[in-house]
Amino acid sequence: MMSTAQRTLLVELLTEELPPKALARLGDAFADGIANGLRTRGLTTDASVVTPYATPRRLAVTISNVLERAPDASIRAKVLPVSVALDANGNPTAPLAKKLTAMGFADLPVASLERAMDGKAEAFFHTYTAAGARLADALQAALDETLGKLPIPKVMSYQRPDGETVQFVRPVHGLIALHGDTLVPATAIGLSSGNKTLGHRFLSKGEITIANADSYAAVLEIEGKVLASFTGRRDAIRTQLLAAAGNDHVVMPDALLDEVTALVEWPAVYACHFEKEFLAVPQECLILTMQTNQKYFALTDKPLAEGGRLTNRFLIVSNIETAHPEQIITGNERVVRPRLADAKFFFEQDKKKPLADRVPLLANVVYHNKLGSQFERTQRLVKLAGAIAQMIGADVALAERGALLAKADLLTDMVGEFPELQGTMGTYYARHDGEADEVARACSEHYQPRFAGDALPASHTGIVVALADKLETLVGIWGIGLHPTGEKDPFALRRHALGIVRMLVERRLPVMLFDLLEVTYKQFTSGVAGLEYLHEVYQFVLDRLRGYLRERGYAANEIEAVLVSPSMYLDLSDLIERLEAVRAFSALPQAEALAAANKRIGNILKKTAPPPDGVIVPSLLIEPAEKSLAAALEKVAPVVEQKFAAREYAQALSALAELRDAVDAFFNDVMVMADDEALRNNRLALLWHLHVQMNRVADLSKLAA
């Protein structure tokens, strides 16, 4: 008889110290793998709750409401098509016997099989009851599957005490598998399951017995001094950091918090100090060296986003809780001092050589073997930045100077030690050299936006150099045939294209997109493909633009209405105003009919062009409906043109609403393609003028259903 007992299942792997940057991912994958393996075999219920655990020395999971055995299942299995199972005389064939044997029903008579249609052909089916999986079998299978699929950064081989060579991310010393208080027999990585584990390496002594799966986390915390939950430990660290900071603010990036959480089992936060003389070094350098090399948390007098300045206090997260942490504090202060001294040395040494003097040395740095050195690239950026500055009305001299110095800090000792500081250090060194503030800011701002949602450059020079940098990369890399394919985008061209789009749209820059691509192309004297590939680049950028606008909440038809309008072919400076105008127009009761009419007019004009002069001859307007439309158009056109010139796009489209009745009447009462050529051409001219006015802001036909 099937057991219906539902109890919590615990599975734990006790290991040597796991790689910290991979721990959270490993913990989630282990828990999900075990849970999914049991779920697919019918051992969990809708009430089952999966709780992952991950510490430096263990991966574990508890799953509530796990069955001892899965319910039996009724299975209807297809056997074979009748044409294969029976011969011409209706007798069973050898393939049928072979198939039934493979299914475990060798002695099953053909008469007991169900004969039914399977698509267009008739087939035999067999319905039988399959016994539900036992927990021990299901867990073993789930363990094997999970361990084989863990996202292990690097597998290591090691020899167990019994001489067996096994592989895992780190050596494994224990396996627990408990269903409630019952041991579940299982094996993994050369180990058999038990109910014993180890606690904290220093704060706990001897083996710890887990008597019941439900008590796992509590027993580890009380007896083992281990906070087993990764998220729980992370929250505890955050709380302690905030408390220890007092009136200061903790610089607490998520990546650092995750890594520190993966390094400790029983976190304790202590405050340390360093000499105030180090505060003369740019705080970005000090913060980065503390985070990268020591896993420390810097403190500022207010949030960094609000201009906070670094203090000479910092916080450490120790794996040892003690009432007398003096030695821990002193030791960490002693360790950080040489790191800060190195940063100070690099900074002082770098300042001795101006950025401008470093620029020629960029000739020794390869940018790309087909596109030359970083010096050659810098020369292109200088010319391109000057051209862009002229196009948008920015200061040409500042733009060219900013582009000249933008990459020079790549040759400084500080950036050599901390590549993440490229640009940031350029700004500090440029200011030290006495460069104009906009030039100095451009050294760091030209990398912006670095990622989706990142801030745009704040200065005009920063915008110009950022555009030049991203355009040069996009056009140059594409031009040597290295455009993105599928998921592969090693040169981040999608990110560069999105950055270009954001700067043009959000800064409302009065420049044509294709003009920017062309002027960029002209900076490459050799190496890149012919000019025609720029159209591919242009469409690539427009695709990024479409995605960007969808994320801002605009509908696909609204976007297409604006992007295909001739006057919007390249200029993005007023894109948002046009989109908002189209959205407002769509809400008008006349919008649907006018959009449909616009589409109809476009189709007519595609098939039959109006006369070259496009002149409407009043004497040839003979039908009342065409006279009415011509009069209405004559009244509305000046308003549309005036509002369009003033960039009052919503009002321009709203004025078109007055044409709805006249347009409807025209198509109801007037034959456009009249036999009389003069009448036909006059009516085509009328429609052409109407089409021009209707599409000044956007192609309204894209709004038609």
CB atoms < 10 A from the CB of 149, how many? 12
pLDDT of 134 above 80? yes
- Position 306 scores a pLDDT of 93
Domain coordinates in residue numbering, the chain: 6-70+134-224, 230-350, 356-553, 586-703
Q: Per-residue pLDDT for 397 more than 80?
A: yes
pLDDT at 609: 81
DSSP 92-112: BPHHHHHHHHHHT-TT--GGG
What is the rounded CA–CA span in Å between residue 639 and residue 631?
Answer: 14
pLDDT in tens, 491-505: 999 999 999 999 999
| 461 touches 395 (CB < 8 A) | yes
Contact (CB, 8 A) for 498 and 466? no
pLDDT exceeds cutoff 50 at 568? no
**Does residue 290 contact residue 298 with C-beta atoms inside 8 Å?**
yes
DSSP state of 512: B
Widest distance between CA atoms in the chain: 107
Mean pLDDT of 547-559: 94
Matching residue, tokens 């504090």: 329
Average the pLDDT over 653-663 and give the result.
92
Query: Cα separation of 62 and 12, whole Å?
Result: 9
How many angstroms from the chain centroid is the CA of residue 232?
A: 26
Task: Please write down the HEC assignment for all residues of 343-384.
Answer: HHHHHHHHCCCCHHHHHHHHHHCEEECCCEEHHHHHHHHHHH
Check pLDDT > 90 for residue 565.
Answer: no
- Computed over every residue of the chain, the mean pLDDT equals 93
Task: Kindly report, residue by residue over 610-639, the tens digit of the pLDDT.
Answer: 777 789 999 999 999 999 999 999 999 999
pLDDT for position 424: 96
- Residue 270 near residue 313 (C-beta atoms within 8 A): no
Cis check: omega of the bond before 612, within 30 degrees of 0: no
Is the per-residue pLDDT at 539 higher than 70? yes
**How many angstroms separate the Cα of 76 from the Cα of each of 71, 98, 105, 119, 402?**
16, 19, 14, 16, 73
Query: Each residue of 88-118: pLDDT tens digit?
Result: 999 999 999 999 999 989 889 998 999 999 9
Q: What is the SS3 assignment for 553?
A: coil
Q: Pull the structure tokens for residue 484.
A: 């993105």
For 25-50, what is the mean pLDDT?
A: 96
Question: Which of these, 563, 565, 566, 568, lies nearest to 549 by C-alpha position?
Answer: 563
Read off the pLDDT band of 2 (50, 70, 90).
Answer: very low
Q: Do domains 6-70+134-224 and 356-553 have the same CATH topology?
A: no
10 Å Cβ neighbour count for 462? 27
Q: Which two tokens stand for residue 188?
A: 């993994």
Please state which architecture CATH assigns to domain 356-553. Answer: Orthogonal Bundle (1.10)
Rounded Cα gap, residues 344 and 280, in angstroms: 8
User: How large is the average pLDDT for residues 355-383?
Assistant: 96
Mean pLDDT within 371-396? 96
pLDDT per residue as tens digits for the range 303-321: 998 999 999 999 999 999 9
What is the architecture, at CATH level 2, of domain 6-70+134-224? Answer: 2-Layer Sandwich (3.30)
What is the band of 570 on the pLDDT scale with cuts at 50, 70, 90?
low
pTM over 0.85: no
What CATH number is given for 586-703 in this structure?
Answer: 1.10.730.10
Cα of 611 vs its chain's centroid, Å: 52
Residue type, 396: V
Identify which has the larger pLDDT, 238 or 486.
238
Mean pLDDT of 265-289: 96
Q: Is the pLDDT of residue 564 over 90?
A: no
Q: Say whether pLDDT at 4 is over 70.
A: no
Q: Nearest CA to 57 among 203, 252, 192, 165?
A: 203
Q: For residue 627, what are the contacts with CB-CB under 8 A and spacing of at least 6? A: 621
Q: What is the pLDDT of residue 611?
A: 77
What gap in Å lies between CA 200 and CA 206, rounded to an integer? 10
Tokens at residue 445, please? 């701002």
Q: Which has more confidence, 695 or 299?
A: 299
Taking only the tens place, the pLDDT of each residue in 190-210 is 999 999 999 999 999 899 999
> What gap in Å lies between CA 617 and CA 549, rounded to an integer?
43
